[in-house]
Structure 1
Amino acid sequence: MTSPTPPSPQRKAPAAASRTRLWWEIGIVLAVTVGQSALYSVLSLVRASLRTTPIGQQQTQLNPNRDAEVLWNVLYQFLGVVFALALVALVVYLLWEPGSNALRRIGLDFTRFGGDLGRGILLAAVIGVPGLGLYVVSRVLGLNVAVVASPLDAAWWTVPLLLLAAVRAGLTEEVIFIAYLFDRLRRLGWSWWTIILTTAALRGAYHAYQGVGAIVGNFVLGVVFGWCYRRWGRVMPLVIAHTLLDIVAFVGYPLAAALWPGVFAPSPSPTPSPSV
């Protein structure tokens, strides 16, 4: 059974004032969410390229400790997740219209959870294995920094926080890169493939701090996810796939670092990753 495509906004061109308002809204949303992180990410890659240490011998942390004391570290990390999800809530609020449920319109609900879960798992498998291979090749070629996905000295609170971080990443990127930008750019009259390629490029820039391999890999992921959203009309499978990918990366990182330290855990001091 063919799934519906995302419902399109009104086809008629908006008035000049409406178009200006839309551009301002998009600019403000990007400035406080993924666009801000993308800019810092690109600057981080430029800075890493200018260092005397080769990129392949540098590293970055995705989920660093926030404090030496356990209680405050857990509290600060938890609040970081909460405030990041508040930005997602803001974007959903902007998508809300009288007489229309924004969550249902973008497919971020549980009405088809079985199908969404199956598609999400399939997507995670299709993207995850080649993505891991691309990361390893990029590391061997010195095109990527080593990504320290989680602390190696795991404690009782580490896994729950990593699960929350994975959910945060899945919701943040898919709701903003896909659901929000697709809706707004369609209203401005952009074609589907222009939107898919543009948002995929922004997603690549968002991960530029990790290196060239991450830019390429996330651009491809953005194209695949954009095409799937265009076909399925639901963002939930993408959120599930992204969350699963990050759970495997975060929770499985200590094992990967132990099995292949030269690729996953080199010794130089890490540079913190840009955050939303």
Structure 2
Amino acid sequence: MTSGETGAAAAAPASGAAASTAPAPSRRVLGTEVLLVLGVSIGASAIFATYRIVERLSRPEALSQQTAALNVSRLPDRPWFDLVDQLLRISLALVPVLLAVYLLSRYPGDGRRLIGLDWRRPRFDLGSGALLAMVIGIPGLALYVAALHLGIGVRIAPAALSAVWWAVPVLILAALQNALLEEVIGVGYLLTRLRELGWHAAAAVGAHALLRGSYHLYQGFGGFIGNAIMGVIFALFYLRYRRVMPLVIAHTILDVVAFVGYGLYSDELDSLLGRILGALG
């Protein structure tokens, strides 16, 4: 589909999704909608991450000597309130996901089916999701180590929760929340709307990749590069199969392994990383 095609033509429902009876919104309305959805979700994260990397670069320490801690305890001395805090943050972060699906359901119709956020193809979704996780995860670890070695990456502490009984379930929920937020909005919603706006497929893939890389800039430039590459692979997969569910599964697997693995074995993993970096010189 070329950039000269109209939004209505580009918005033809995929995979048998029911078409909306509402008239097609104008390009201006759709463009404003995209900016607003991104502004309350991953677009805002990209702005903060860009600010964060600028702030990190202003420090006297090299990037590789700095640490970005994820999934932290905000009330470590009050574990029950900390649990409620974690669950509230996870739940509220999913509201933009519901908004994106709602808007797609208004036009062009049946948002979940349109982007493949359903269980119509469970074997395909689980199999391709696991394969994508391996394709992304193993090279991603190598890139992370290389970025630290080159001084362009930040050390990541994927889990910094207190030693409480609910830590693992909360980390799994956080992984699922991240996956839904990034894949439903950043891939399913964004690529659908950009195509409806007449963007060429290559331009839409590039925009998604740059956005995904940008909201990971808090991890340093290694995080930007790795996630931009991941964005290209995920976007191309989505445009080929029109299913976001395998991407959600793959992303969830990656984050569960990172969050829970680090949460349980942080000392051992930090020691192993130190030995690897020491061997690299």
Q: Same fold (TM over 0.5)?
A: yes
Counterpart residue type for residue 215 of structure 2:
Y
Q: Deviation at 1:98?
A: 6.9
Structure-to-structure mapping, 1:1-40, within 5 angstroms: 10-11=8-9, 18-40=26-48
> What is the CA–CA distance in structure 1 between the aligned matches of 2:272 and 2:104, rounded to whole Å?
45
Q: CA deviation at 1:251?
A: 0.8
Matched, 1:207 2:197: no
Give the secondary-structure state (helix, strand or coil) at the position aligned to 2:75: coil
Q: 2:61 aligns with which of 40, 46, 53?
A: 53
CA displacement 1:106-141 (0-9 Å, x = unmatched): 100011111100000000001100001100111122
Deviations 1:166-220 (A, max 9, x none): 0000000000110111111111100111100111100000100100100000000
Q: Please give the alpha-carbon distance, in whole angstroms, between the structure 1 residues aligned to 2:29 and 2:7.
A: 16
1: distance between equivalents of 2:140 and 2:193? 29
Q: Say which is worse superposed, 247-256 or 121-130, in terms of deviation.
A: 247-256
Cα separation, 1, equivalents of 2:250 and 2:227: 14
Equivalent residues of 1:61, 1:150 under 8 A apart:
yes
Distance (whole Å) between structure 2 residues aligned to residue 189 and residue 99 of structure 1? 15
C-alpha deviation, 1:34, in angstroms: 0.5
How far is the alpha carbon of 1:160 from its aligned partner? 0.2
How far the C-alpha of 1:155 sits from its partner, in A, is 2.2
Q: In structure 2, list runs of 5 or more residues that go unmatched.
A: 1-5, 12-22, 275-281
Cα separation, 2, equivalents of 1:154 and 1:38: 31
Structure 2 residue identity aligned to 1:67: L
Q: Which amino acid aligns with 2:149?
A: V
Query: Unpaired segments of 5 or more residues in structure 1?
Result: 1-7, 265-276
Give CA-to-partner distance per residue, 1:137-167, whole Å, 9 cap, x none.
Answer: 1112221111110027532110000000000
Matched with 2:268 is 258
Give the residue type in structure 1 aligned to 2:41. T
- TM-score, normalised with respect to structure 1: 0.88
Q: Would the aligned equivalents of 1:59 and 1:145 in 2 still touch at CA under 8 Å?
A: yes
Residues 139 and 263, structure 1, Cα contact 8 Å, conserved in 2: no
Q: Deviations over 1:56-110 (max 9, x none)?
A: 1111111011212100110000000100111110111111137832111110001
**Post-superposition, which runs of at least 4 consecutive aligned residues in structure 1 deviate over 4 A?**
none
Indicate the RMSD between aligned Cα atoms, in angstroms. 2.2
2:277 matched to which residue of 1?
none
1:44 and 2:42 are equivalent in the alignment = no
Aligned to 1:182: 191
8 Å Cα contact 1:139-1:146 kept in structure 2:
yes
My pick for the range that moved more, 89-98 or 254-263, is: 254-263
Alpha-carbon spacing, 1:201–1:241, altered in 2? closer, same or farther (3 Å): same
Choose between structure 1 and 2 for higher RCO, CA contacts under 8 A separated by at least 6 residues: 1
- Residue by residue over 1:30-63, the C-alpha shift from the partner in whole angstroms, topping out at 9 and shown as x without a partner, is 1111001101001100110011111111111110
Size of the aligned set, in residue pairs, is 256
DSSP 3-state at the match of 2:8: coil
User: How far, CA to CA, are the matches of 2:236 and 2:70 in structure 1?
Assistant: 27
Listed one character per residue, the Cα deviations across residues 1-30 of structure 1 (whole Å, up to 9, x for unaligned) are xxxxxxx963279x9981111111111111
Match of 1:90 in 2: 99
Percent sequence identity over aligned pairs: 44
Equivalent position SS for 2:51: helix
TM-score w.r.t. length of structure 2: 0.86
Structure 2 CA distance for partners of 1:93 and 1:16, relative to 1, 3 Å: closer
Name the CA shift for 1:148/1:101 in 2 (closer, same or farther; >3 Å): same
Task: Indicate the residue corresponding to 1:72 in structure 2.
Answer: 81
Corresponding residue SS for 2:94 = helix
Aligned-partner Cα distance in 2 for 1:169–1:199 = 16
